[in-house]
Amino acid sequence: QEKYDRLLRRFHQVENSSIHRIASNDLKQIIREEGFSQITADDLHDLIVRHETNPNEIDYQMFLSGKLFLDKAFLLPAFI
C-alpha cells in the first residue's frame, strides 16, 4: 500500500488534471526513480503502445489498477 500511495502522489504531481493522464515519459521516469526494476523500459513501452490510444500519455489510474499487466484473454473468463 505504501508504494501505491507514493506512486499516486507522484502521478498527481505531474498529471494533466483535466483528463487525469500523465505523459508516458513522466511515467517511465517515475517508475525508474521509484525502483521498480522488475519493469523494464521496453516492457513499459510495450504496455503503453498496446493499451493506450495515444502512446504519448497514459491513464495512470488504469496503470495503478494493474489491469494493463493482465492479458485480456485472461480477463474475459473472470467476468463470465
Q: Looking at the 3D structure of the chain, how many domains does it have?
A: 1
The residue range of the domain holding 20 is: 2-78
Q: CA 76, CA 9: separation in Å to the nearest integer?
A: 31
5-55 pLDDT, tens per residue? 888 899 999 998 888 899 989 988 988 888 877 888 888 888 888 878 888
Q: Would you list the DSSP string of 5-72?
A: HHHHHHHHHH-BTTTTEEEHHHHHHHHHHTT-TTS-HHHHHHHHHHH-SSTTEEEHHHHHHTGGGS-H
54-67 pLDDT, tens per residue? 889 888 877 777 65
Model's pTM, two decimal places? 0.70
